[in-house]
Chains A and B, each alone.
Chain A
């Protein structure tokens, strides 16, 4: 996200910013940019770890393999389904909660604290918590269904249902993020505009649709962007809840790359899958930034 040029320029040209920037840039070059280039090299190599690391040029072999690998396309479509479904649900639910909370409420502070709690927890702990929830014989969800006289659900062992259980966990984990950002945005809206509209007799759905919603759009687009880019990297909860199973029906791109690189110890091909994920994230970022620009422009025009 770009921001306005810095307002504060007290000592232009008097001293260089370089000494201040040097450590940060150095660390990023060493631990992000260099590894990235290294991974890129790996995708074009044959790797041997016997008797020290050796790389031989392998051409596009890994990329060709990727294009014809069913398991890769499966993990790609799983990842896209999780991202699309989870982010949409999180946005809608987060918006609904923010709208409900955007008023003076007794106990509002307590609700807010409770609502944001899940997003702060370690994904690994969340994974186990939900693995307990979904447990088919000793888990509480099926026990509650049973009490209500309903049949048990194969939350994580049904190959079609398992991915929706993953999505439900992600919604539990990340709706709080959408909620808290949208609530902050709602509370920052100019009160006069809304009051004026209310004096004109606008209320309820009309007020939301024509007054509040348009002002909320830039923030909603921004959180959707942030959340989407993060959701593409999903792995921790899947690793614990299903391990990618049953079969490979919940395997995400990161998990597939991890298994390939570190369980099958095929580093070069694992790197290729990882880089495909990077390209996917990059493409989504560029697409979403375009959308962001358009909406902000629209806001300026109207």
Chain B
């Protein structure tokens, strides 16, 4: 019994150590956003009220003051491009996944599995490969540095993931429901709208959130394909880097604005991640 208690204590010690390692950088970012410039530049300070006096000035500047203009447009771009591309990718991805689980595909020698594999394998393509060409393509058609261009690019970027996730969900929905409706004389669109969509809603929500996180965090393609008009939050944050001296306090606040929505989504998605997505993938 004694040995068991020691064992458990050791396990907790290990878990706490890793937890500390995982959280400390985030803690540092949070406190940095509440520091005066002097509290940053005069050396590391760790505890608010103990070795530095917290201030809201960085947050005030971003939310109401001089930085508001700087942050406003990229934040709006991130929201519009993120939601727009994610909405599109869920619709297009769900259609493809539905087609692949409910019909026999024959494209020459290729069957359902081959088409699915082809779509999913596109995720392997390094963004820098397509990015170079997309830069020239979007320039030619006038979509460079536009929200429309970024929505389309991110839709393609997330499509393999969306098709794969939706395919896993549709596979779990028994087709007997749809068969029954079909014998009752319901039309195809009716079946899709009344039966398939409501049943697959949870899967679509999960797919939506996953793709939103990827679009929201994406950096390289945005770096290549936007300059000023359509630049997103990651690009705004990265551009602070070229300034003479980094203003860590306002940079930390901007980072936290970018991080926070995703953290909320991640905490909400956790259970889904474990049971529905990963549970069916490893084998």
Contact = CB atoms under 8 A, between A and B. Distances in A.
A21 B100 contact: yes
B270 A113 contact: yes
Interface stretch (B60-68, B121-129, B197-205): B121-129
B153 A31 contact: yes
Interface string B252-283: 10011011001101110010011100110111
Contacts of B238: 124, 239-240
B128 A133 contact: no
Contact of B255 (A129, A223, A229, A281): A129
Interface string B206-225: 00000001001101100110
B5 interface: no
B104 A20 contact: no
A122 B25 contact: no
B219 A133 contact: no
B48 interface: no
Question: Which of A6, A117, A239 has the most chain B CB atoms closer than 10 A to its own CB?
Answer: A6
Nearest to B241: A240
A92 B70 CA distance: 43
B95 interface: yes
Chain B interface SS verdict (over half): helix
Contacts of A271: 129, 132-133
Interface stretch (A59-67, A176-184, A206-214): A176-184
A21 B116 CA distance: 10
A262 B96 contact: no
A114 B28 contact: no
Given A132-B248, A184-B278, A233-B127, A17 B44 contact: no
Contact of A114 (B23, B182, B282): B23
Question: Which of B96, B155, B170, B176 has the most chain A CB atoms closer than 10 A to its own CB?
Answer: B96
A76 interface: no
Listed from nearest, the 3 A-B pairs whose CB atoms lie closest are: A20-B99, A31-B156, A17-B103
Interface of A: 1-3, 5-13, 15-21, 23-25, 27-28, 30-36, 38-39, 42, 53, 93, 97, 100-101, 103, 105, 111-118, 120-126, 128-130, 132-133, 137-140, 142-144, 172, 176, 180-181, 183-185, 187-188, 218-219, 222-223, 229, 232-233, 235-236, 239-240, 243, 254, 257-258, 261-262, 267, 270-271, 274-275, 277-278, 281-282, 285
